Structures are given as structure tokens and as C-alpha cells.
Structure 1
Amino acid sequence: MVNGNIDSIQQGQADSNATGQTIMSSLPPEIAHITANYYPLPFILQRLAQKSHNELQLRVEELARMPPGQGAAANGNPSGSGEDSSEENQNKKAFLLNFLNELHAKWTKALVMSEWSRKSGQVSKLVDLHSHILEQLAKYNIVLDRMGHVKRGIYDIRLPNPDIKTALQVLSTGRADWMPGNRFIPPPALKAEEIQKWFGELNTLLSFRLTLHDYDKIPYEFRDFTVKDGRVTFKVQGEFEVDLTIGNDDPESQWWFIDFRFDFSPAPQELTDKVRHFMTMNVNDVLGRQGLKGCYDFLHGYVLTHKIRELQRQAVLLSQQHWINHIKVEPLNRALCIQYWAQRYLGTGPKPEANAGPKSWIIIGVNSGKTPSADSLPSLHPTSYLTIRWFRDGKEVTGDADLSSFGTETISAEDLLNRIICKHVSYILKSISDKLMSKPRYASRQVSVSMKLHKSEPSESILVIQLTHSETLSVKINGVTGNFYLEPTKPLISRREAILNLRGRDAVEDSFGQIEHIRCESLFEELVRLGRAMGWVMCKRPVLPDEAKKLHPSREFYQLLWLRRDTWPSPWYVVVCVSLAGDNWWLVEVVDDGANPAKAAPSTAPNRVASQLPDGRNNKMHNQPNARIKTYKPLTMPVNPKLSTDFFSRLTKMVNVAMCGFKDSPPDYHGVGKPEFGFKPVDNPYLPPGRKMPGMFYKTAAVMRQLPSRDGERTTRPLKTSWAGDYVTMTYREEVEGAQGRPEIIQDVKVKVKDKSMFSLIKKKHVDRDVRYDAQAGQFVMQIQRTMDSSCIPLIATRLKAIDRLVEFVSSMGDRAGGVKCESVTLRKFVFTYGEAGSDASTRDKRWKVTLDLAKHQEIKIHLEAGSPHTRILDMLNKLINSQIGMKALPRCLQATLPLHRVLDSLEATWAVLSENGQGFFEVVPHALDWITVHFELAAVANNKSPRRLRLSVRVRTRNGEAWWEVQRYGREGGQRDELDEVLQPIFTSRITPEGWQGLDTAVVVKVGGGGIEALLSKISAAVKALATGVPATAAAIQLNMASSQAAPIVLD
């Protein structure tokens, strides 16, 4: 089938592919093909053509620059000869021929390469094959070399052939008879008594020999010995112990070595077999040749060498543990060099060795002791000993490197390093302390410097320096690294610590400078941080450095901090000068002497906003070339002050006192008599203790001459009374924030009064929120809030005027006894009551309250109690109180007109019922305080359509120096008598009545100040009312109405 053929064909192809894969998998791996640094031939030919063209062009230009030959004719015409054989022409030809030969050689190589490129496939295979053969040859050589090394190594680990025969005999019988032996006959064992006898005899021989024969031969170091158990033990303290004995009783016989022990630690407790054999051979040899002296010298030298090697071992171990990279150990010829603080003062740049700092190291070696040191006496028994040479910062130290107690009992490289480093740390800290104490600030004990030194632990040595009142700086040095460690850890200290450890080259000088920088920055940081909350900001230096040197004439290092209040209206600064000569505080005024003097002067405009003030963020005077210091005054500040809120408060007060004293300095007085202003000492409880600021005093008359009027000009109106003393005293109190964020100063202004009795009505201590009256001292104390760039005298004059007005009103209250009673007295509000004397709120004639609003200095406003009878004439009362006689006239007017207005209120209430019924109408029209018109309007009768009207004029008239109320009808229509006249006729024609009025036919008069006006108007109203209602008033009703309208007599209190 067709499908079957197709399947068979596919099966055959699959079998052939599998066979091919099997064959390929059995072949070795393909060799590596070398394709590196291969370039295409067209690329090479293109570069060669380009290079040939460029070189040909250069050669042509060079030929053109060559001088022409002698055979060339002028103007370019050829000469008569046929060939130019001049030297120039020959040179040109040779030059061109050489170039062509070089070019021909290059293109010939290119041709050869092109021929080879036709066989590039075969050449590539040849190159790959050659490379593969070389690689295999190299591997063959490497394998042969490794086989040789393995064979050589096997030789050392091979074992000899085992002796099987001997091993079997020994294991079976326990011996081998055929093996050779010593064949010694062992001596008989000694008894204990014999051993003790021999030891006793030997001890005796040793004692005789040491005390008699060898006494002069015993070295001085072997003077400590012990004879026991047939041997003598010589002990050298801190070095070794050696056991020796003798072989016979001959005094000249040799001493023999028995045992050796080290007498220090760390040291081996037992000698190894190798060392014991070495010691036995060499010590016996030395004893045979040099005796005990040679034995000591040999063992002493051996022990010193062993100590050095032990120190080397410990130092190497330290350099691999926690002292890693910080010490370097270098063994020398029987000596040892240890460099400590190896990572300190490392160099930088391409040649770090050139700018690296000095190094410190110690050398431990053996001194022969034959030459005594300069600071010691020569020894009678010189011997060698371990010595230490200390090189501190590259210089050998002789006096401070005495470690005589080292190396006797205990050998410790770490302890040795700690002792040396402790001395180094102590030297650095002492040098820093001495350098600080040499400066005036520290020499005068303005700040404290303390130091604690340790002899064996470097990190325990500490130098404590007082930075500010509340902060100290602890200087420590890490014993391992040699780096400075400064506490407390804060950013500015950590930054200076890093600079000191990374860039320093002289520990004393660099640390001294960094410590002063830390002190300055710490003080400035604390001043700025704590002062910011109190309104103090740091500013850039507004003047050039040379100008700022006025504040510090000393040559010592110094730093300046410029501070100011961000709301100060003028270019004033507080400058803190911190230096080694001492800290100074200055009040500085800076001006700009530019081309425009008007801009250079500080502005004193009262409406200047805070954003225009020169502060730390918006100061136009920063580093101006023409800016200069105009005024600088020292501020008396405590040494090393405690920076706190109270300190800045006191500083603010002190500066404000100084600035106010500068701004408020009065001009020179050229008049005669007593001066109008000046200074005198006054008690000021608001200044810090020990700070004094004289108070300023002004003559009261001079102050009042500067009183501003309504149009802003000065007024010359003097005080109305002579209640005030001759002078006004001003003292500083505090600073507050005023309008638009500007600072304002609060001052206490004191005015003495001449007569205390004039102010007896003032019961409260405070007559205003910023003015109080001290009754005991007899003076007014005003709290004045003023700006620092303006005078406060006009404001004081305004307050004096307000007090003068208050005094005038209080005096008027004192003159009015009985009906007027003072309730409250302040400069902003005056409250009093008026009414009938002896009346109270429970009766019909209550007392009415009047409030005078004195908040506005130029105008007084009256506020009456609700329901007051005088409400209808309130505008007239306001005009009266603001007139020249208002203060005295107002109480008299209120008291005199109270009965009138009270009865008018009563009549209005009575006629309101009639008005609702349409029977009549009542109206009061005030024309003036002493003139009121009363209108009665009655309903018309049947035979007359027009209403009946009655107009009464109530007016004050003067008669024989007395005030009378005059009630008179006016405005009668037609001029004829009517029924209203008939009603009023009995009243107008009556003579003196018990109520106090008197009829004059056409009018009625009654005295002012009593209740007669009430009875009169009530009787007139009753008569008119009866006419309006048609009900005649009975005599009893009229009498009752008149009795109810009687007023109690005025009682003055």
C-alpha cells in the first residue's frame, strides 16, 4: 500500500539519523577555533588605499615646498640644457622613489594576503590545528610535572618493610634472644637510709664548696640559692631557676646540670626532650669552661631571648585579633618592634607615603648594661636586661619610657602596649590642657577644665572641657585605634570628630583647634536654638571682615554670631564674640555709607511692616561693601551664662533698655532754671538682679506741651488743675509684640499727686487696664506701650489728659453731695447714680445709673440705664458732657431735671390710655436741657370739628440768683380764651401753695430742685384729662394725685 511505503521510508530515515547521532556522540569534542583579532580583507584594503592616497598627497605637497634646482630658468622658461642634474632635482627624485618603493612593498603584502585569502578555509583549519597541538603539549608537560611532584611527596610518607619474623617472636614469647643488648648488670638497689646518707654527704660537700671554695666565683645574680636533696638551686627573680650538682668531692671539679625552670609567666612548666637535651649539652659545656659565671650568662641570655620571642608571639596574636590592622609587628635581630596606631594619619592621594602623618612605635631589645643611662648611677654588677625604646610621633622619648617594673614576673604584650599608649594619651591630653590653660579665657577660670589620667587603661583617661553653662565636652582617645572620641554624640561634635580623625596630623594642635570650634558652634547652636523661640534670629555678617575686627582687637582666634530680633525697625544687632581671650557681647548699629545716604539711614516710619525689616532671611545689608559699624556698645553679661528662657528675657530687656536709652535721649537743654527732662536713679523691679538702668524724668508742664490735638498738631493748653506733681518718671518694664509683629516696649510712668484727698472716691486700685492709682504712695502708675523708634512723650501727655479729665469729674462728684453717688471710676468708664436722697430701688423714686464712656480721648459718650427718664434728652446730655463745663454741669443737670422728666414719663403712661380711646393725645418736645414743650390735644366737641390743643412751655428762669421752672401756655389759636383757659385758671391764679408753686395769672413758677414741678404738672394733667373725658376731677382725686407726686427731699451723701 502507498501508506505502508511511506511509513517504511520514514522509518529508514529515522534509523539513519539515529546512527549518525550515535557516531557523532562517540567522537572527541571539537577543537577550539581561533577567531580573535580577525579583520576582513576588504577593510584592510580600504584602509591601505586611504593611507596611500593621504601619503601621496603629503609627498606632493612636500615636493612643492622643496627649492627648485639651479637649472630652472627665470619666469618658468627652461634653460638650454636638456637634463636637470642639480642636487635639488636628484633629491626630489630620490624622495619620490623611496615613497614609491614603500608603497609598492605594502601593496605587495596586500597581494600576498589576497592570494592567501583564496585559501582562507584551509589556513583557518591549519591555524586551529596548530593552536590545538600547542595546547595539548602544554597539558602534557603540566601532567608530567604534577606526576614528578607526587612521586617526590610519596617518598616522604612511605614506610619501611615490616619485620614479620621479629614481630611474631616478640608477640609470642615477649623477647627476642637473637637481638643484641647492653648486657649491663644492674647495681643493687639502695635503701632509704643509704639514700638519705648519700644526700646528706652531698649536701655537705655542696655547702662547703659554695661557702669556702667557690664563694668568690659565685655571680652576684646567683646569691639566692638553696642546697637540698643533693643539689643546689640557684634562683634569679623573675627569670629562671637552675639545679646543679657535683660529681666528686674535688673542689676544682665541674658543676653538672640537673634541671631548669622558668620563673615568669607565661612559660612552659616542663621542658621538652629536645629543649632539655639542648640545655644539658650547652649548660654542661659552659660549666666546664666558664663555671657558674658562664652558666648564668648563658641562661640569662637565653631567658631574655625567650621573653622577646614570647612578646613577639603575643603581639602577632593581638594583630590577628581585636588589634587587627592597628599594630604592626616586626622581629629584629634579638629585638622586637611593635608599631601601634598604624591606621592613624594615613596618607592620601597617589603617593600616600609623602603626606602621611608621624608614626609611633616601641622597640624591645637587650641592653648589655655596661653603659649606664644618663639618669642613673653606674652599677657595681652590670648585667644585661630588657629595655624599651619608645618613639612617639617619630621622636624618641627618653624620660617617660621608664618601665622598670615590666618584664619580671609576667610577660604581656597587651599590657605593655596599654602602658605605653596610656603615657601617649596622657601626653596628648596634658598638652591640650596646658595649651588651653595658657589662653586668657581658661587661665581666668571663666570655664572649667578637668582631667583624669589612667596608667593602664587608655580609654579611662579623659579630659573634660566646659563648653557652655549646661554642656561639657569629654575628650577621650581610643587605645587601639588612636582616634579621638568626643562626647556627647551630636551632629556638630561628630563632624568635628571625623575631621580630627581623618585630616589631623598633629594631635595637640589639631584637637585644640577643633575643640575651640566645637565650643563656638555649641554656644552658637544653643543661642540660635533657644533664642529662636524668644524671637532672636541669626543673621549673616552685614559688614566686611575687616570692619568686623573692631569688635575683637585681640590676635586670638575668634568667631562672631550676629543676632537680632526679626521685628526690630532699625539696623541694630547683638554680636556675640567668642574667642580664647574671653567672650564679649556687643550692641552694634550698622549703617550703609553708599551713594544714597537716604537709603543708608535706618527707616523709622511707624507703618513699616515686619517683612521689610532686615532679619536673617530678608536683610539687604548682608556683606555690603559700604556698610560700616556706626555704634557699638558693650553689654555687661555674666561669664558663661546659663542659656534659658529667663536669660533671653533678661537679654531682651537689657538690649531694649540700651536701645530705648539711645532713642529717647533728650536733646541738650539750654534754658535756665530747673531742667525739663533728665535721668535719675529709680527702683526698677523688672530688670534682672544686679542690672541697673536710670529712669527718665520729664517736667509735667513740658509733657503736656507735647499733647497732640485732633488735627495732629501740638497743643499748648495747660492742665486745668494743679493735682499732678512737678515731674513724670519713666522706667522700663518689658517688651511685647505690637501691631504687624513689631516689638513694642512697656514702660511704667509714675505721676505723683499733690493732694491725696482729692482721689478719695477712687476705690479700685486700677482705674484702667494700664493705669492704676496707688493710694498709699499717692501716685498714678501708667503702663505705656510704645515702639522703639518713636518718642513716648505724646502718649504720656494723652494719658495725663485723661487722668486730668477723670480728676475733674471726681472733683465734681465730690461737690455734689446727696443725690449723686459715684459707683465706679476708671479712665475708660465712669459710672455713677443719681436720684432723690435716701431713696432706694424698692421705692418708686429709684436711683438711675449713668455710664460715661471715656475710651475715646477726644469725645465722651453717655450711656443711660434702660427706662431712664432722661433718655429723651440723651443727645443734649452728650453735647453737654463734651463742652467746657460738662464735667461739673452734668451731675447738676441730671439731679435738677430728674423730677421733671420723671413726671413727664408718668403723664405719657397716663395719656397713652386716652390716646387709644381717641379722647386725647399727649406729647413732649425737648428744645434744650432747660426748655421743654408739653402738648395736650383733646378730641373735638360736637359743634366744632377741630381738636382742642394746649401747648405748655416748661423752661428754667433765673430770679434773684435762683433757678425756677416756668410753666406758661403759648400758641393759643385766635387769641381768645377757651375752655382750656378756664380749666387752668385756678392753677395759674393760685398763690404760694404747699407744693411750692406760685401762680402768675399767665404762668406758674416753681423752684428747681424739689418735687413741686411734679405736683404742678400732675395737677394740670388731671384738669385737662377731666375735660377730655367729661368727668370732673374731684378734689380728693386731685389731692391724691398731688400727694402721690410729692418727691422726697434731696439728701446728699
Structure 2
Amino acid sequence: MNHTGSDLATASRDADGRKRNHDADMINGGLNGTRSDTPAGGPATNGGSSKDTNTNGASMALATTAGSTLGHYSDLPPEIAHIGPEQYNSLSTLLLRISQESYNELEEVLKNMAAIQLAPVTNGVLPNGLGAANMQGNADANRRKKLVLLSFAQEQRAKFIKLLVLTEWGKKASSDISKLIDLLAHASTQAAHMDAADYKLERIKVLSNNARENNPDIATALEVLSTGKASWMPSLDYIPPEPISAEQALKLLRYLNTSLSIRLNVHESLPRHLQNWRVHSGRATFVIDNELEFDVMSFVEDASEQWFLIDVRLLFNPAPTITVGSRFFMQLKLQADLVLKDKGLTGLFDFLNNFILTHKISVLRSQAVGLVRTGWAGSLKVEPVHRLLVVSYWTNKPGKKNWIEIGVSNNKPKNGKVSWRGPPIPSLTTRWFRQGKEVKDPKFQFDWKDLSMECVLKQVIACHASEILRSTKNSFKSGVIANARLSETEPGDCTLDATLGATSTSVTLSLEQVTGSYILRPASALSARAESAFNQGREPGQIANVMTQVLAGTLLSLIQKNAQQLGWQSVARQALHQQVVSAAVRLDVISSTLYCPRGWTPSWALAAVIDSSGESWWIFEIGSGGGSIEYAEQIRMDRPDGSSLPINRNTLASLERIAVQLLSFRVTARQLEKQKKNYSLKCELGPSLEAYRIARRWVLHVQTADLLAAQAGQDAWLESDIRITCEGMKVGGQNVWHMAAGRMIKTVAADMHKLMAASPQHAFKFSEDGNFRILLATPFGQDILGELRARLRDVNRLRTFATTLQKRKMLLKSSSLQRVQFQYGPSPYSATVNFGSEKELTIELSPSNPHHRILSQLTEIANDRSPSLPVIDPGDANGLDRFCTILVATRPLFKVLREVEQRSPGNYSNPAIHVHTIFKYRLTYDNPVCTFDVRLQPKDDNVYWFVEDNLRPKDPNVLPTPERAPGHRRLDNLQAKLKELFSRKGNGWFGTRNGMVAELDAIPRAIEELDKCVLGCRMADGYVAPPPLEKPPQQGLNQANGGQQGNQQQQQPRMQQARQQQQQQQQQQQQQQQQQQQQQRQGQSGKQHLNQQQHPRGQQPNGRPAQQQMPSGRQQTLQQQQQQGRGGPGGRPGQSKNDVITID
């Protein structure tokens, strides 16, 4: 939009508010003064030529309607985009930056002024009052400083004047400048759109040309497809060659083969590396091993014409397949034919050989880059150079760098002489740099046929690791056994084994192939610290010293670990110096440690001493002060074949056992010497292979007469000699196991064999020939004589108890010195007597045994803790005899009680059985409610079971709980049946006025009859108590409510009748009690001991403690509270007379 000066003049004359429409016509006044949207001949507005009209268009504006104005503005083009103030750089920001810049320049000026040097000042005061400031030199310096400051002030003043002008101008022209910026942005955008439209149109034209499809020649196509030719198409007049036959082709190939052979043998001078060739199919094939083979051909016999390349095949892996006719092959053939024209076959070989070698380097480079991206990441660095590959390995290892270079070498000798074989051919060569220094003549055997950069690196790293391990092995001191296993291809197979003493303490040193880090196995805290030291960069000599320390520390840690597993405690060695240990063992001690196994006393210690030959074990007797060794004895660990045992738990346990043998027998021998007893200590080999391999053992022989005192009237049952061996520490570490072996005399051995035939023993072993073995446990450091005497007494006690069981026809099921299990009764039932505790016996009964309910009472009887128990069998000599007698006497009762309980599974209340004493039991029924006591009492030199009904006890204050309620009354039919039962007589039992009396074996029948009688009166729907004998005083108060008064009036006649019946029954009961009291006074003297056993704790016959006497008022109040809580006499809390009673 270029405007001329006339346009500007015209625009200046036009009003500022005029615009153009989309047709480029002026609106709001044009050049011709007319509007295109007004009627023809209408008045012009805003600058029309008619002078009769208002030039400012005011009248026309007033005449324009609102509708036409809106339509007019809707036809206008859109407004241009307005650029907001947020896209501008504010003036305040400019002011801040200029101020900061001025401040920075002021600092520079001050620094420059300070850099101007002043003249030096002399000491003293100058004459005439002149100072340093008035000197000529300082005046020049001050003048320069002033000039610098004035120059800075002038520059800053000019800068801020410009800012002032700019600020004032911005205040006045800000709105106009904003409009100009909007116009400029709009114009720039439209220009960019026009340029882009031209470019897009050009691209559409170019790209559509490729998509254009030529118009088809339908007529020509139909003619050619139908007749095979078209007369109007021109003919090229090519003459086709004559077809060649198979004979001619064979003749041609033979001719070519012959001419090629003649040329190669006669006219070509081939170098030695091209001697491997063959002629076939009209071509000559040259083979270069591990690289390539190429085919060439020629049409003449002599060298007048050049050779031509026909095909190339690569003979290494990985390699691409070159296809004849491909773009690459054609490019290669073109270059090869040029070389053949100029240099012949020799030049072609050099060209192809260099090409193949370069390609191999490229393949190796790509493989190395792949390794960097995978498993070798962070440890390799690939540096490609022109026809040279540099690969650095172990890049993170401290010290100088290591790398290998692979390149192409011409193999020319350094002296420049050429061999009679001809010039050398180029090949791939490597140079190895280790620790920054080149290694001359490394013995690498790289496979250049199957290219593998990983294999190349492994060979180099394996050689490097082997050299490090070999130098480390040579740096070991004498006495350390080192063995290096090296490999030329696998770095992981290069290891160095070092051993100090036992093979179990060997360590293995190797290098990780990727990172070059040292690996010390087995892994431990010591090896981890050693690895950290190695990987910081250590020489082989330092590595050997550290490995020696690791071996010693590993051996100590191995001993410590196994010692801790066995519970050994380390002995503090503050007072026991290393020189004392060396003097005691007479060895060059490297290190030593002392242990106190579990259960040992502080005066003895087991020591592990390490010297140049390995470890050795000693027993030390420490002096009283802890700073001296009184006695030292070495424990031999050698096998018969000369090999040593490994350090493990079994070995240390065997060492501890042997040490315990030595100490135990020494203590026992000292005790025998004090007692002036004869003994002999002999050394024997262990019977088992394990004992034979580890060490010998000792056997102590003592006399039987020195252990057991002969009793009057008792025959000897042991032979004279007893052999004692030590079996090591007991689990728990406080006692020592010993095995005492002897022989019984023949008569006792036969009975003992019958006793122990079916009972395998743990602590006591007995054989048929009379030999026996007893396992003993004694505290460490004490003799075994007391324990041996006690165990021999246990054997004798077992014999006598077995005789007691045999006398009572009880079957012995299993037995040992601590435990005897037997069966009794026809059922039979099992019981166990445990002699394990020295103070008391323990009775063990299974829950299914009927006697299990009186287990605690049986235990008291077996331990003779029941002196008031009446004597049932005069032949009982001790508690075990009385225990067996009670089992036999009470077995029928408990059997029938168990059967009664198991009659209804889950019903433990009908009846409920309560044990009061060993000879008193109570049967409680809840449907119907009744209780009975069963007692065992002597009578006429015999014992009988007495079954007593608790309805009328001797003491009315001790009624059983179910029948204790005031006004309680039994069922009439139950009383009638019981009366009938108590008047009958059966086999072994008979009834009394208030119960029954039965023999020991007849008590089951009596109990069954009683149970049958009671359960015959059972109510199917639950027990309902009969009316009480008398009305309780508080019953009327408990039932005082409006809904129950009518029922209470109806029940009063029945209550009076029941009260009369109860009074009659009470009178009868009082008469029966008086008769029974007279009978009891007669037999009271014979029953005194039994009553004491029945009431050992001052209990009443119902098993409850006697109630203390209370004041009559207090007692009456308690009875009223019980009656109120139970809902009436004979009931439970919340229960009326007609409710079902359930007994707890």
C-alpha cells in the first residue's frame, strides 16, 4: 500500500472519520460527495459537492434511523487485533535497569580512581606548611581522578536526560503509539499471509505434478493386445542374437577355463598370498583365508587386456551377503575394475584386503558400542579413530588406565628389508596397554574369522587378571599354601586359593571381569574390608599381606562362630599375656583365644592357638590370679591317615567331649585317692568309626564294694567290677554324661531280664547276659561317685517295685530307672510311677482312667504323706504298697462311676460325682433331686463300701446343697422306691435303714441298683418340686401383686395339707436319727481314724466347711433373703413352686 503525495493531500482534506467499504468506496463523505447507499439525487453527506446540504452531516445523522445504523456497522470489516500492555517492556523496568547500570559503573569508576597511585610521603613535616596534598605529583593524580569522575557524571547526565525526554514523550503520545504498533503488527501479519500463500501454491503445483497420470492410449493398447503389433508404432529394427546351444556353451566355458589357466600360469606373476586359486565355470576364484574370496575373468590368454571382477564373498562372521547386481556391488565393481586396469590382481588384492580389514574394525566397533549399552555399561570406553579402535576397560578402577588398540598394520620390518617371500600383507594387529604401559609381545590368540569383541576383551582381561594373581602368589610368605588356577580365555576362571591350616579356612581371590573389582570368597566382614582395601588400589605384595591377615582372622572367626553355636564363652585375657601362652605351648604363636564351654568352671579353659602351621587345641588350667597357666595339654586332631579335621561344630563338640573326659576323670581320680579306693584308668579306642577318627577315650574301673554298702540279710546282686566312661556334656551345659557298665549275677539277671524285656530304656540298658549300662549326669568339675551310688540304688528299687507289682498280679507294661508303667484290673487300666525327682514320686494317669479324679490323693499316698490313712492291708510296707492297694480297692467303684457318667454323654449333673476324700464320694441327682454319700469303712477285719442317703443326715445343719432349701421334700414315689431298695439284699451287698453296705467287688451292682432306682423316678419334662412341708414367712410378700392374689387363695388348702405331711415326716426323721446316733456311739471308737481322713480340713459330711454361728436375728434375716431370692421354699432365684428345678 504505497501512497503518493496527492493521496496524502487529499487525505488531509478529508475528515478523519471517513472510511471505505468492502467495494473501496468512501463512506461518510467521498471525493464525489455522494454515498453509494443513498438514493440517486439525494443530498451528499460529510463533504458532498452540494452546498445546500450540511457539510458536517449533522442533519443527515439525525435523519438516519436506528435500524439502518446497525445494518451499516454489521457490514464493516472486523477490527484489527490490539496488542495489550502486558506484551510491552514497561518503562519502570527500563528505569530500574538504567539505575542499576549507573550504580555498577560508579563502582568501576571508584575502583579506577583508587587505582591511581599517589606520590610517597616522607617522614616529618614539610617546610612552609606544605603537605602531601599540595605536592606536584599528588596534584596530577587528583586531577586525573576529577576528570574520571566528571566524565562519568557527564555520561550519566546525558543518559538520564534521554530517559526524561522519553518519559515526557510517552505521556503525550502513548495512545497514538499504541495504535501505530497495532497497525504495524496487522500489516506484518497480512504480509506474512500473502508470502505463505505464494509458497503454498508453488508447493501444490510441484507435488501435484508427481501425482499426475498420463492420458491412456486406448486405441494402441487394444491393437497391441489383440494383434500383437500396431502398424503406426515405429520399429527399432534390432537383430536378435542367435541362440547358443548347450554344446557351444560348454565349449565356450572350456575355452575360457583354458585361457584363464594359461594366463595365470604363464603370463601372471602372482604373489604368495594369491597362490590359492582355482578355475571353474569360466572364472578364476582367489581365496584369502578368514577374509574373502573373489571371482575374476578375462577373455584373452595373455596380459594384453585387464581382468574384470565378477563376484565377491566374505569368509568371516558376522558379515553381510553381497548380492551381484546390487547397488553396493556395482559401486564396488566399478572401483575394482579401475584398480584391475591400473594395478592388476595384486592391486585388487590390496584394495579388497584393506576394505575387509576396515570393515572388520567397524564390526568390532559396533560390537563394543553394544557392550557399552548392555552388561558392560560404565566399565568400557570406546574411542573410534580412523582405521583404529581403542577400547578402555576397567575405567572405574583406581590407578592408571588399561586399554587395547585394534588397527591395521602393514607388517613391514623396522629395518626396511624385504623378505625373499615378498612384501608382507596388511593384517589386524593389537596393542595392549596395562597400567598405562604397553605390554610387549602379549600371547593373544584372537579369532579374526568369528569376530567377537566380548571374546577379545575376555582374553585381554584374563591375561591381566592372571598376571595380578601370579604376582600375588609369589608375594606370600612361607607356610601359606597358595594355588593359582589361571585361564587364557575366561577371567572368571582365574582364581587364587590361599590356605592357612585346615582347608575349611581357605580364601579365594578373583577379579570381576567387567569392573575389575577384587572378589574375596567366602564373604565375611573381614573379606569385605579386604575387598575395599584391594579396590582402593593395592600392589600384589600388599594384597598378599592382607590376605594372610584375612586367613588368620577367618580362622579365628570360624572358631568363634562354631564356639558360639556350641555356647562357649570367651575368656577375658587382661592378665594372661601372649608370652605366657607361647611359653606354655612352646610354639611361635600368631594369635590365640581362650574359651570356657558351657558348664565349665573358671579354672579351666579350652584354647585355640594359631601358628604358621595352622591351628592347634589345648586344655589350660588357669592359675588363681588368672595370669599364669598351671597345666597345658594338647588335644590331637589328626586322623590315622595324617589329615586334619575341619573346623565345624562336630569337631569342636568332639574336642569339648574329649576335654571333658580328661577333666572329669582327673577329678574323679582325685576323689578316689582321697577316699583311698582302688581304681584304674585305661586308654581304649572308641568302638565307633567316628570316635576312632577323632581321638581315644578313657575308661575308669572301680570296685562294686566301694560303691554299695552291704546290707544285713540282702544278697549281692552285682559283680565286683564297674567300668565308667565319659560321654560329654549334657544338653544345657551344667552336667556331664557318664556311662557306668557292669554285670548282674545270674539269678538277679534272669528276673531283671523278664522285667525289662518289653521296656526299651533311655538311661538304663540291660542285656540278656546280665550286662547293664547306666547313664549318669554329674555337675562339671565334680566326681561321679555319689551319682553312681544313687543310680545303683534306683536299680535296686526298680527290682523291688517290680516284685510288688508281681505280688498283686499287676502287669508291668514298661519300666526304666525313672518311670514305671503298669496295668491293673481286668479292663485293664494303666498307671505310671515317675521316679525322676529325688524328693518325691509322681503318679501319671491318663484322662480316660477312672482314677484320674483322685490323682492328687494317690500322689500323696505314694509319697507317704498321709499318715492318718487307715491301714487296709497289713502287708503294706511303704507308700507304693499302699498306692497299689488303694488302686485295687477302689477300682470297682470308679469303674461303675465312669459307666454311670458315660451313660448319657454330656450330662454331668444327673448324677454329679464329687470327691471329698480318698474314701468318701458324693452322688448328686437333679431329676429327681437327691444326694448320696459313698464311704469306705473297715468292719470286722474287712473293708466295705457304705452308701448313705443324705435326706436325714446326722447333723441337719450340713445338708447337701440340692436338699438344703427350707421346706425341701422329695418325691413320694422316689422315697418309696428307695425304702424298698434299702430293704433288699443282693449278691455282695445288702440294704440298711438309710443306705446300703457292699463288698469291694459288689459296689458296682449296688451303685447300678441305686442309679436305676433314682432314674426310674425321673420326670420326662423336667423336675417339678413337690409342695413344701411348710410355708416360708416371706412367700406372701414375694407374691403380693394384683394378678396373683386369686391363685394364692386357691393354693392355701393345699399348703396346709402339705404342712401337715411335712411335720409327720420330720417326726419320723427325728426318730430315725436317734436310733442311728445310738448305733454310731457303739462303733465310734473303731472309726476315729477314718473320720479324720474323711474330714482332713474340718469339713462337714457334705463337703462344705462348717458355718460359723451367727446371732439369731442375723441368721433369720439371711434365711428371709434366700427365700425372697429363690421365689419360695425349695426353689432357685426367680422360680415359683411350679417351675422346673435345675441343680448347679
TM-score bracket, normalised by the shorter chain, equals 0.3 to 0.5
Q: RCO (CA 8 Å, sep 6+): is it higher in 1 or 2? A: 1
TM-score by length of 2: 0.44
TM-score by length of 1: 0.47
